[in-house]
C-alpha cells in the first residue's frame, strides 16, 4: 500500500510540472505584438507622411507575419506607391524576416486605394526565424481631403484567418495598436507683425533698450525674430508679448535698421516695415594736448577752451575747458565719437590755433606757440586791442599786461605790434 502511495505522489508531481510547462509555453506563444507608429497626427492636405508597422516578438521566435488586412478610409487617405516599377501599389518592406538569399521574405505586398485595404506578409527562409523587435513595414500615406481616418488591423485573438504572427503553426499575436490621422486644409495665411518700440527716428543708448513688436496670425504665432541691420538680434521670442533687450553699447554710434520677422507653425513668414533709429552712446576717452609756448610769457600755464570741429566742414561738435600745467600739458576727457576732427585752442589774449587729427590716435596733440595780442578775443589783432593797452598805459591792469610783468607799457604794445592786423587760425 505504501508503495502505491509513492507512485501516486510522483505521478501527481509529474502532472503539475506538465501543466506549468504547458502554461508557460502558451504564454510565450501569445505575447507578440503589432503596433502602428505614430498612433495619431494632424497633416495638411496633399502632404505625405509615413506610418511604421512595428513588430515585437517579446523574446520568442517567429517565422511568418500576416497583415490581413489593414483598413483605412480611402476618401481621406491614399497609399503612395513605394515602388512604381512594379504593377499595383506597394508599401515599403522591412527586413526582419529574410529569405534564403538574405532579402526581405515578402510574400504579399498590395494596397488598394479604392477599397482602403493593405495586405502584407513575410515569411523567413525554411528552418529560420526572427526574434526581437523592429520595423516590419512602412506605409506612406497622403491626405487628400479634410477629415479623420482610422487605420486598423483586422485582428481577433485566437483567429488564424486574419492578422497573425506565426511560429511553427501557432499564432503568437496577442494584441495590436491601431492609429487615427486627421487631415486639414494647409495654413497659407502669413502672420502680421509691426515694431512698437523704439519708434522710428528716435535716438537710443545704453545696455537695456527694449525692442518690442505686435504679431498676430489666423492660427497662432510661433515666434518673432528681431533683426538689426539684417542680422539676428538675439534669439527668437516664442511667447507673447514679443520683445528683446538690446545692448546698444555693442553697436556703433550711427543710424541702424530694426525689423521683426514673425512665423507661424505652417512656416509662413512676414517681415515688418523697417524702423530706423540712431544709436548715440556717450563714449569717454582721454587725450593729452600740449602748448609749446605762450608768446611773451615764460610760463606755459594757461586756461582756455578746446573746441572740437568736424572735418572737413569745421562745424562745431563740442568744446572742453582746460588748464595746462607748467609743462604746457592738459589731459581732456572726450565724450564725442573718436574720428578725424579739427581741434581749435582758445586762450585769452592769444590768437586761436588749429590742429587736424584723428582722435583714435592716442598721442599727445602738440599745438605750436600761441601768438599774443588778441585782447578782445575776436581772433584779430588791431586798434581795438591796442586801445585797451593805450587806456591802461603805465598801470597794472591785467587786460593790457600782455607779458604779465605787472606793468602795461611799450613792451606789451611791441608784442601786439608784431602781429598787427593778423588773424587766428579758423
* Angle between helix 410-418 and helix 383-391 axes, rounded to 10 deg: 170
**Residue that the C-alpha cell 495654413 belongs to:** 187
Q: Which CATH number fits domain 31-184: 2.60.40.680, 2.40.160.40, 3.40.50.720, 3.40.720.10?
A: 2.60.40.680
DSSP type of residue 191: P
Question: Do the domains at 31-184 and 192-279 have one common CATH topology?
Answer: yes
Q: Phi, psi at residue 200, to the nearest 5°?
A: -60, 140
Total count of residues recorded for the chain: 426
Instruction: Give the residue from 301, 317, 297 showing the smallest Cα distance to 309.
Output: 317
Could you tell me the three cell numbers for 108? 504579399
Residues 31, 174: contact at Cβ < 8 Å?
yes
Q: Count of CB atoms within 10 A of residue 21's CB?
A: 10
Architecture of the domain whose range is 285-418:
Sandwich (2.60)
Residues 138, 96: contact at Cβ < 8 Å?
no
3-state secondary structure of 280: coil
Q: pLDDT per residue over 41-88, tens digit each?
A: 999 899 999 999 999 999 999 999 999 999 999 999 999 999 999 999
Residue 18 confidence class, pLDDT cut points 50, 70, 90: very low
Residues 269, 262: contact at Cβ < 8 Å?
yes
Residue 30 confidence class, pLDDT cut points 50, 70, 90: low
Q: What is the percent of the chain where pLDDT is above 70?
A: 93
As beta bridge partners, residue 341 has: 310, 357
3-state secondary structure of 200: coil
**pLDDT at 16 exceeding the cut of 80:** no
3-state secondary structure of 302: coil
Q: Cα separations (Å) of 122 from 33, 142, 192?
A: 15, 25, 53
Q: pLDDT per residue over 294-305, tens digit each?
A: 999 999 999 999
Domain ranges of the chain: 31-184, 192-279, 285-418
Q: Cα separations (Å) of 250 from 66, 283, 369?
A: 66, 12, 41
Q: Cα separations (Å) of 121 from 48, 68, 70?
A: 24, 8, 12
- Pairing relationship of beta strands 173-177 and 32-37 according to DSSP bridges: parallel
Q: What is residue 273's predicted lDDT score, i.e. its pLDDT?
A: 97
Residue 166 confidence class, pLDDT cut points 50, 70, 90: very high
Q: pLDDT per residue over 350-382, tens digit each?
A: 999 999 999 999 999 999 999 999 999 999 999
CATH 2.60.40.10 fits 192-279, yes or no: yes
Between CA 426 and CA 424 the distance in angstroms is 6
Mean pLDDT score of the chain:
92
Between CA 59 and CA 418 the distance in angstroms is 113
Q: What is residue 282's predicted lDDT score, i.e. its pLDDT?
A: 83
Q: What is residue 29's predicted lDDT score, i.e. its pLDDT?
A: 58
Q: What is the mean pLDDT of residues 134-154?
A: 97
Q: Cα separations (Å) of 66 from 53, 70, 339, 374?
A: 12, 10, 81, 111
Phi-psi region of 377 (alpha: psi -120 to 50; beta: other; left: phi over 0): left
Between CA 344 and CA 316 the distance in angstroms is 10
Concatenated DSSP letters for 347-381?
-TTB--EEEEEETTS-S-EEE-PBPB--TT-SSB-
Q: pLDDT per residue over 281-330, tens digit each?
A: 988 899 999 999 999 999 999 999 999 999 999 999 999 999 999 999 99
Task: Kindly tell me the number of DSSP H helices and DSSP E strands found in the chain.
Answer: 3, 30
Residues 52, 37: contact at Cβ < 8 Å?
yes
Q: What is residue 19's predicted lDDT score, i.e. its pLDDT?
A: 37
Q: pLDDT per residue over 233-253, tens digit each?
A: 999 999 999 999 999 999 998
Contacts of 94 (CB under 8 A, 6+ apart): 53, 55, 104, 122, 134, 135, 136, 137, 138
Amino acid at each position: 500500500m505504501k508503495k502505491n502511495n509513492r507512485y501516486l505522489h510522483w505521478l501527481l508531481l509529474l502532472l503539475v510540472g506538465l501543466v506549468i510547462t504547458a502554461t508557460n509555453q502558451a504564454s510565450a506563444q501569445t505575447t507578440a505584438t503589432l503596433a502602428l507608429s505614430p498612433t495619431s497626427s494632424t497633416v495638411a492636405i496633399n502632404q505625405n507622411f509615413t506610418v511604421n508597422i512595428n513588430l515585437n516578438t517579446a523574446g520568442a521566435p517567429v517565422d511568418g507575419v500576416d497583415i490581413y488586412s489593414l483598413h483605412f478610409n480611402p476618401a481621406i487617405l491614399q497609399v503612395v506607391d513605394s515602388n512604381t516599377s512594379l504593377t499595383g501599389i506597394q508599401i515599403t518592406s522591412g527586413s526582419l524576416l529574410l529569405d534564403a538569399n538574405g532579402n526581405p521574405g515578402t510574400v504579399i505586398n498590395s494596397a488598394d486605394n479604392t477599397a482602403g485595404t493593405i495586405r502584407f506578409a513575410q515569411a523567413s527562409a525554411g528552418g529560420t526565424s526572427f526574434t526581437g523587435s523592429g520595423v516590419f513595414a512602412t506605409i506612406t500615406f497622403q491626405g487628400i481631403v479634410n477629415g479623420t481616418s482610422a487605420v486598423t488591423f483586422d485582428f481577433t485573438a485566437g483567429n488564424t484567418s486574419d492578422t497573425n504572427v506565426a511560429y511553427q503553426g501557432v499564432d503568437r499575436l496577442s494584441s495590436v495598436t491601431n492609429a487615427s490621422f486627421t487631415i486639414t486644409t494647409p495654413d497659407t495665411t502669413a502672420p502680421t507683425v509691426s515694431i512698437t518700440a523704439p519708434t522710428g527716428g528716435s535716438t537710443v543708448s545704453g545696455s537695456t533698450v527694449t525692442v518690442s513688436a505686435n504679431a498676430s496670425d489666423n492660427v497662432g504665432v510661433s515666434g518673432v525674430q528681431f533683426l538689426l541691420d539684417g542680422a539676428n538680434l538675439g534669439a527668437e521670442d516664442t511667447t507673447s508679448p514679443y520683445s528683446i533687450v538690446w545692448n546698444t553699447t555693442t553697436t556703433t554710434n550711427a543710424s541702424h535698421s530694426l525689423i521683426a520677422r514673425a512665423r507661424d507653425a505652417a512656416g509662413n513668414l512676414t517681415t515688418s516695415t523697417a524702423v530706423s533709429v540712431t544709436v548715440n552712446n556717450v563714449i569717454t576717452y582721454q587725450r593729452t594736448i600740449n602748448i609749446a609756448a605762450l608768446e611773451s610769457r615764460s610760463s606755459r600755464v594757461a586756461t582756455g577752451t578746446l573746441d572740437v570741429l568736424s572735418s572737413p566742414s569745421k562745424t562745431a561738435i563740442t568744446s572742453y575747458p582746460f588748464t595746462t600745467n607748467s609743462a604746457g600739458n592738459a589731459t581732456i576727457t572726450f565724450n564725442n565719437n573718436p574720428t578725424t576732427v579739427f581741434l581749435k585752442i582758445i586762450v585769452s589774449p592769444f590768437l586761436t590755433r588749429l590742429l587736424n587729427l584723428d582722435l583714435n590716435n592716442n598721442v599727445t596733440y602738440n599745438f605750436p606757440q600761441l601768438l599774443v595780442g588778441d585782447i578782445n578775443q575776436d581772433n584779430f589783432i588791431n586798434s581795438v586791442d591796442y586801445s585797451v593797452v593805450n587806456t591802461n598805459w603805465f598801470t597794472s591792469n591785467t587786460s593790457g599786461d600782455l607779458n604779465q610783468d605787472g606793468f602795461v607799457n611799450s613792451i606789451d604794445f611791441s608784442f601786439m605790434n608784431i602781429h598787427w592786423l593778423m588773424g587766428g587760425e579758423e
